[in-house]
Amino acid sequence: MRSVDSEAPDSLKEALVSDWRTAELDQLDRFILDYAERITLRAHTITREYVDGLRAIGMDDTMLHDVVQVTGYFNYINRLADGLGVELEE
């Protein structure tokens, strides 16, 4: 997935923050974001067939592993912060 840096159009940044489904992304980026969302909200629905489908559209094992690791880490850190009542900085 391409990085969203200071050179990215504001419309892309806004779409990714508000609803990634409205962003102008290629098919692989959409599948990556859908996979991350599914890991976060419905991990129990991920089957071998679903993962095989991701491989069929171009994700290799390293990419699958990276998406799971990064998504899991952020979910973990967010739950720690929420569970401890950590307030966001301004």
Encode pLDDT of 10-43 as tens digits. Answer: 888 888 888 888 888 999 999 999 999 999 999 9
In 3-state terms, what secondary structure has residue 88? coil
User: Which pair of structure tokens corresponds to residue 87?
Assistant: 């307030």
**pLDDT tens-digit map of 42-79:** 999 999 999 999 999 999 999 999 999 999 999 999 99
Between the CA of residue 54 and those of 3, 37, 42, 73, 74, what are the distances in Å? Answer: 20, 14, 16, 21, 21
Between the CA of residue 26 and those of 1, 36, 41, 45, 49, what are the distances in Å? Answer: 9, 16, 23, 24, 22
Domain ranges of the chain: 25-83
Pick the CATH number of 25-83 from 3.30.70.890, 3.40.50.1980, 1.20.1290.10, 3.40.50.300: 1.20.1290.10
Residue whose tokens read 């990215």: 8
For the entire predicted model, the pTM comes to 0.79
